[in-house]
Structure 1
Amino acid sequence: MVSFSSYKIILSAVSLSLVSFFGSAQEVTPEQETFPQCIDRLQQRALAAGVSAATANNVLAKIELMPKLLEYDRNQPEFVQTFTGYFSKRVTNWRIDKGREKFAEHRAFLAKLTQEYGVPAHYLLAFWGLETNFGNYKGKIPTLRALTTLACDQRRSRYFSSELVQALLLLERENLQPEQMIGSWAGAMGHTQFMPTAYLKYARDGDGDGKIDLWNSEQDALASAANFLKNLGWQAGYRWGREVQLPESFDYQLAGKSHPKSLSFWNKQQVTQVSGQSLGNSDIKSALLIPAGYTGSAFLVYSNFDVILRWNNSEYYGIAVGHLADRIAGKDDLSKPLPDLPKYTILEMQAFQEKLNQLGFEVGEADGILGPATRKGVRDFQMSVGLIADGYPSKNTVEAAMNKPTTVNQVDVTS
């Protein structure tokens, strides 16, 4: 446990300045701001946004730090998460069965939401299932304490300061008590884990009782999720994507979110549905994702997949939501078993990324994350050494890169 005095040392690096509510020019350097000064800054920001003086003085001023949250925020997983590890823990038989139970329980209400917002029931249930196990675990951290602690920390102070103010406005709008507001360590709340800004803007009274309660009302949570997705751009009548089959001669350089093509194009490349049926000739745009390498499943994803990513910007999350929704709706499991993928530590992946950069295959910052830039760099490297260019860092790919000598003038294959 980090002591309060230790936390003051952490706060000494906070990159913030204090500007008074009345516009005075007094500034405090990052090295000077203490927790009381941070609270003062947050109070004045809250007052300027319309939070009452009573809430600023009787709620915000009395909030205590939760230094343990900084450990959560700084904690990095020891290993790079593989698609197999991520997917297998999220798309489970329990979630599929529970999702079908909840569909039966809320059938009429979900049909009403689909008609009003255009979002099919199985997608709403998939989000709900992934976020909180259908409400079985909504978090136990006091929201206001969590947001205040993170707002007084330098790493993402601006974002969390804004969310804290929105949380205080929400407290007043819904006539809540601070102890009622509990959720994740980062401030997400309720069945659907809305941040305060999303709660204020998109949450809806689904059960018609005159208030919005995402902690205790399943109908409020489902209606809010539907409204949120509609406002994020969900296109009614279209699916998220689908698993597809690739020909043996497939050009894996065509894969990636940055290469959307028409279904007609993919059809000409002999990409088919899992059943072997044609994709048809259409100008609908879709991108091909190969999250587990060529030995795993491939997916064509459409515009609604991008909407899912606006909820949580992770391709793994997007595929998990889409496939869980499909399974809840009664569709089949993936056609291929999840492959046994190599597990790299963060440091090993960073070293691999650094080596690719040195070899001239630009992947950006060596952060240990298998993002789009890294996958592109991996594909380019694989092409250069005659490996299947699926963009996945297989054991053979990593060994080939790490053993390749670095010369002064590498050939740039990306230009």
Structure 2
Amino acid sequence: MAIFSKNNILALTAGCLISTVMMAAPVPEGEQKASGEQSSSKQTASSEQKASYASTRPEVEAFIKDLVKNEQFSRNEVEAVLGKAQRSDRVLELISRPAEKRLEWKDYRKIFMTDQRVNEGIDFWLAHAETLAAAEKEYGVPASIIVAIIGVETYYGRLTGGFKVLDALSTLSFDYPPRRTFFTQQLKEFLILVREQKLDPHELTGSYAGAMGIPQFMPSSYRAYAVDFTGDGQSNIWKQKEDAIGSVANYLKENGWRAGKPIASKARVQGTKYEQAIGKTVRPAKTLKQLETAGWKPVNVLPSATKAAAMSFEGENGTEYWLGMENFRVITTYNRSKLYAMAVHQLAKEVNTGYKTAVQKKKTDATVANKS
């Protein structure tokens, strides 16, 4: 499997929570409003906005010089690309209020734990069972987790985005100071990527944060982790489900996934010290034995030497207490939110149960048919 050149910038995936999300395909019905809003803003953009990414702006000039000096671009080609990029106020609006910071778990969960998303996940697994089995074998990542991430990100490739990636990344690079460094690097990676893959930078669409394709990779993650799982010489995460499946598995493995190890366990708490054990991050820092002295006990049977992070979530029926292991932390490298990781974990479990039931039913039906 051909893996593109690596870097250490982690993915920032936008998910499909607030408005539009992700790719260069016809915009699905569910995204018509938001993408229409973006088109409208383009049509009414002032001449000043349309020229806002010209080299007369110091930060744009510095960006161009960097590409010319360090990445062997010509000034003319960079200016030609950026000259067509347009600022998107909608992008700036969405990036300022991500759902992971606005919603409690009880509301966030409702978005992803629906019968439709679970059933479509089962269908996706059945349709791509061979590829998912191959990815699980090669990378050590469970098929259920791969399916769940694709399900959370783009509804199994159905909602892949309606924002032009060039517009989104240019807007966030030059008109969103809080994350300028990150997004300027992503814009740079994007321009290198389209040159490598011989793609049209003006045609590719994705999320408001510039995440692309079925797995919603940022440009740096595409270049670092996308794989050619079909053997056709290109890692096409926009159109090929096989490449998307292999790429998600490779991403998780490269970010520390531990094959066969637990992800998370619900916990019971007691005493007066248990809240003090809840940290600010999901990085496992204490063993279960240490956490037990603080009043935490996993519902699942796990070795006492297992390291975990104590977490609380505001659920439908009150506070839920969970213990997240290293693989839970790895999921958060895809999207730095414990809500996101918990959604992936729980969706994976539901889809896994449904898939096994569907496979067993197929076997039973086949046996009955053969006997008759």
Structure 2 residue aligned with 1:329, among 352, 355, 366? 352
**Do the aligned residues in 2 keep the contact of 1:35 with 1:152 (CA within 8 Å)?**
no
1:103 and 2:129 matched:
no
Shift of the 5–315 alpha-carbon distance from structure 1 to 2, 3 Å rule, reads: same
Match runs of 1:247-262 below 5 Å: 247=270, 251-256=274-279, 257=282, 260-262=285-287
Q: Which has the higher contact order (CA 8 A, sep 6+)?
A: 2
Residue aligned with 1:134, SS: coil
1:43 aligns to 2:64 (yes or no): yes
Q: Compared with structure 1, are the counterparts of its residues 284 and 93 closer, same or farther at alpha carbon in structure 2 (3 Å cutoff)?
A: same
- What are the within-5 Å matches in structure 2 for residues 26-41 of structure 1? 37-41=58-62
Instruction: Note the C-alpha offset of 1:247.
Output: 4.7
Q: Cα deviation per residue 1:180-199 (whole Å; 9 max; x = unaligned)?
A: 42101111101111111111
TM norm structure 2 = 0.73
| 1:77-123 deviation digits (Å, cap 9, x = unpaired) | 7x942110111212222221111111111112111111111111111
Provide the residue aligned with 2:342 in structure 1: 319
Cα distance in 2 for partners of 1:73, 1:266 equals: 36
Runs of 4 or more consecutive aligned structure 1 residues displaced over 6 Å after TM superposition? none
The structural deviation recorded for 1:124 is 0.7
Q: Give, in whole Å, the separation in 2 of the partners of 1:258 and 1:37.
A: 39
Match for residue 174 of structure 1 among 172, 197, 214: 197
1:83 pairs, out of 96, 105, 119, with 105
Match of 2:17 in 1: none
Taking the aligned partners of 1:36 and 1:267, their CA distance within structure 2 comes to 57
Deviations 1:282-337 (Å, cap 9, x if unpaired)?
31111221211793332111011111111111111111111111111118xxxxxx
Alignment of 1:16-415 (within 5 A): 37-53=58-74, 55-75=77-97, 80-153=102-175, 154-247=177-270, 251-256=274-279, 257=282, 260-266=285-291, 274=299, 279-292=301-314, 295-330=318-353
Looking at structure 1, the residues matched to 310 and 266 of structure 2 have their Cα atoms a distance apart, in angstroms, of 10
Residues 66, 146 of structure 1: 8 Å contact kept: yes
Question: The residue matched to 2:178 in structure 1 has which SS?
Answer: coil
Give the SS at the match of 2:159.
Answer: coil
**Relative to 1, partners in 2 of residues 1:290 and 1:72: Cα closer, same or farther, differing over 3 Å?**
closer
TM-score under structure 1 normalisation?
A: 0.66
Identity %: 30
In structure 2, the residue corresponding to 1:296 is in which secondary structure? strand
Give unmatched runs, 5+ long, in structure 1.
Answer: 15-32, 332-415
Gaps of 5+ in 2: 1-40, 355-372
Moved more, 103-112 or 120-129: 103-112
Distance 1:69 1:261, change over 3 A: closer
Question: Which structure dedicates a bigger proportion of its chain to helix?
Answer: 2
Q: Match for 1:311: what amino acid?
A: Y
Task: Kindly provide the amino acid, as one letter, of the partner of residue 188 in structure 1.
Answer: A
Contact 2:277 2:294 in 1 (8 A): no
Match of 2:10 in 1: none
Deviation at 1:147, TM superposition (A): 1.0
Q: Deviations over 1:2-35 (max 9, x none)?
A: 8547759xx8xx9xxxxxxxxxxxxxxxxxx986
Kindly tell me: are residues 93 and 140 of structure 1, through their superposed partners in 2, closer, same or farther at Cα, counting changes over 3 Å? Answer: same
| CA distance 1:34–1:208, shift in 2 (3 Å) | closer
Amino acid at match of 1:183: G
Kindly report the root-mean-square deviation, in angstroms, between the aligned alpha carbons of the 2 structures. Answer: 3.1
Cα distance change on mapping 1:62 and 1:88 into 2, 3 Å: closer
Against the structure 1 CA distance between its residues 258 and 43, is the aligned structure 2 distance closer, same or farther, given a 3 Å change threshold?
closer
Amino acid at match of 1:302: M
